[in-house]
A = this chain, B = another copy of it.
Amino acid sequence: MAETSDFKAEPPEGIDPIGASSEGASLYQLIREDIIEGRLAANERLVVTDLARRHGTSTNPVREALQLLRGEGFVTFVANRGARVRPIDQDFVRDIYEIGVLIEPALTRWFVNMATSEDIAELERIQGLIEENNFADTFRHSELDTAFHTVMYQRHYNRHAAELWWKHREVLRAVSRRFNFTLARRAAILREHRELIAHIKAGNADEAGELISRHVEGSGRHVLEQMRARNAARAG
Contacts and interface: CB of A to CB of B under 8 A. Distances in A.
Contacts of A60: 60, 63
A230 B197 CA distance: 43
Interface in A75-93: 76-80, 91-92
Given A25-B79, A71-B71, 19 more contacts: A17-B70, A19-B79, A20-B79, A21-B79, A60-B63, A64-B64, A64-B67, A65-B67, A67-B68, A67-B71, A68-B68, A69-B71, A72-B72, A92-B160, A95-B161, A98-B158, A99-B164, A102-B103, A102-B106
24 contacts: A17-B71, A20-B67, A22-B79, A60-B63, A63-B64, A64-B64, A65-B67, A68-B68, A68-B70, A69-B71, A70-B71, A71-B71, A71-B72, A72-B72, A91-B159, A94-B158, A95-B159, A96-B160, A99-B103, A99-B158, A99-B160, A102-B102, A103-B103, A164-B164
